[in-house]
Amino acid sequence: MAERNAASSLKVVSRKSFLWLFTMTSTLFLLSWFFVLRSTSTNRPDFIDSDFLPNPKLPTDLDNSTLEKDNLNDEPSIGNRAILVNTEETEATRKTGSETETLAQNQTPATNDDESKCSRKNDAVVPLKVFMYDLPPEFHFGLLDWKPLGNTVWPDITTQIPHYPGGLNLQHSIEFWLTTDLLASELPEPRSAGAAIRVRNVSEADIIFVPFFSSLCYNRHSKTNKHEKKSMDSVLQEKLVQFLTSREEWKRSGGVDHLILAHHPNSMLKVRTKLWPSTLILSDFGRYPSNIANVEKDVIAPYKHVVKSYVNDSSNFDSRPILLYFQGAIHRKDGGHARLALYNMLKDEKDVHFSSGSVQKGGIRQATEGMQSSKFCLNIAGDTPSSNRLFDAIVSHCVPVIISDEIELPYEDVLDYSEFCVFARTRDALKRNYLITFIRSIGREEWTRMWEKLKEVEAMFEFQYPSKEGDAVQMIWQAVARRVPAMKLKLHRSRRYVRSLSKKERSLPTKPAPVNYWLERRNVIVRKSAA
């Protein structure tokens, strides 16, 4: 019995000794490994957690030379392997690393720069693909008294472009410039860096363009002539609706993927409620309810300025004697009440020009000279929130002072107007002495910064043929392109339940349907199935 107890005690002692020996051995091994790692901490492997090391050097704090040396080898543990090689091998590795580092310094920046340039170039040349209806000439160039030859629809722009009337007609000539730009994209040698190209296959298109010169039509043909029950403007609007609603392209989308121009505030007045699902190109939303036009769906385009651009502007703060300039209609309706109030406040200020004027009797020439001689130009809401006066000021390098609470500005998602415009709320501007004190507080240095910025951005508001990179035509196309993803999202979501409709129900939208037509039909189906 005693022998058994002794044997059992020996086993217990042996186990304890073995565990103690194993623990001590493991501890010594870990400590030795710890000190080896510490001695090579700058080159430790990536798989070692820095939190377990004293005073860890985070990757963001590593100097460039350390990072570059680490990257010279495929294996991250070169630092640990280095203690096993001889001095000659280590020196050779350092020389190779140094040469590689020098070569990288000489070549890498240029390569990266070239890649970034290529990337920017490739991004710039990806155009918006536009399918344009071949509408009869009466909707577009026929309004410019152009007569087609034979069955042709479009003029030969390589030989002659129909003349667009001047004066205030020009300020809403957006449709003319966009249409000619699309026609030019089909020329054998089109201009480079085009922001949009015309495609003949509608399945390839990002958007469908409706080339109706609606602003020109309103300006020229909105009044009823003798022996006419309807004006030509009303007749063409109705014919346009008939044309669009008969097209399979419109029936398929309800007009969501169509682009319609209505830049004049009164253009397309008769058919807005029928064509509203389309993306509209407008000057502002002043005469539109928010369910018809809004900033999420539509595109705001600049007016074409009517004053001459200030070429080779060498003026400065001191050489412009007029502090604040306004010339135009003073008595306006709707939001234009502020004009009369501001006129009464500012008319007696010695360095302020505030007078009534129009484009007639040399009005454009006077406005050109006045704006180019002024530091600041007032842009006050009139019948609508916007006017071409803002864009006249921009190309005159006269810092705009915008007093229009409801104004929407072209491509404001990419352009910060606060860098070259001054904004004042109407309620503040109408306080006595507020506006003049505010303007006088802007000194030479701040004004000069805005003046320089005006010269940088003025090209974005120039309409020209052929269009050039970064001009108004291409900026508008780019703004349209930024609407396309949201447009496609709406369209794709609306098609979710089309398959569940009967053939009769699928054929229902033979007239312009709202964007949510299919969503409404889906709700009907869901309610029926629930019942």
Q: How many CB atoms lie within 10 A of CB 113?
A: 10
**Residue 469 within any structural domain of the chain:** no
Domain of 46?
40-122
Residues 211 and 353 in one domain: no
pLDDT band for position 98 (cuts 50, 70, 90): very low
End of a domain among 122, 137, 172?
Answer: 122
How many domains would you assign to the chain? 4
pLDDT for 403:
97
Read off the tokens for 329: 């209609």
pLDDT for 122:
43
Residues 417 and 402 in one domain: yes
User: pLDDT tens-digit profile of 350-405?
Assistant: 999 999 877 667 788 999 999 999 999 999 998 899 999 999 999 999 999 999 99
Residues 190 and 265 in one domain: yes
User: pLDDT tens-digit profile of 234-277?
Assistant: 999 999 999 999 999 999 999 999 999 999 999 999 999 999 99
Tell me which range, 2-11, 227-236, 388-397, is most confidently predicted by mean pLDDT.
388-397
Residues 361 and 399 in one domain: yes
Residues 45 and 11 in one domain: no
Residues 278 and 294 in one domain: yes
What is the rounded distance in angstroms from the CA atom of residue 39 to the CA atom of residue 84? 14
Average pLDDT over residues 143-171: 91
Residues 154 and 91 in one domain: no
Residues 142 and 283 in one domain: yes
CATH code of 376's domain: 3.40.50.2000
State the greatest distance between any 2 C-alpha atoms of the chain, in Å, as a whole number.
137
Whether the CA torsion 483, 488, 489, 491 is positive or negative: it is: positive
**Residue 60 within any structural domain of the chain:** yes
Residues 330 and 249 in one domain: no
**Residue 526 within any structural domain of the chain:** no
What is the rounded distance in angstroms from the CA atom of residue 331 to the CA atom of residue 259? 35
**Residue 520 within any structural domain of the chain:** no
Residues 27 and 58 in one domain: no
**Smallest Cα–Cα separation from 455: which of 420, 479, 422?**
420
Residues 157 and 81 in one domain: no
> Which of 84-93, 282-291, 335-344, 521-530 is predicted with the least confidence, judged by mean pLDDT?
84-93
Question: Is residue 398 within 8 Å of residue 315, measured between CB atoms?
Answer: no
**Residue 71 within any structural domain of the chain:** yes
**Residue 483 within any structural domain of the chain:** no
User: pLDDT tens-digit profile of 510-528?
Assistant: 344 444 444 444 444 444 5
Three-state SS letters, 235-271: HHHHHHHHHHHCCHHHHHHCCCCEEEECCCCCCCCCC
**Residue 478 within any structural domain of the chain:** no
Q: How many CB atoms lie within 10 A of CB 378?
A: 29
Residues 276 and 166 in one domain: yes
End of a domain among 247, 266, 300?
Answer: 300
Average pLDDT over residues 57-66: 35
End of a domain among 444, 462, 480?
Answer: 462
**Residue 235 within any structural domain of the chain:** yes
Using only C-alpha atoms, the chain has a radius of gyration, in whole angstroms, of 36
pLDDT, mean over the chain: 79
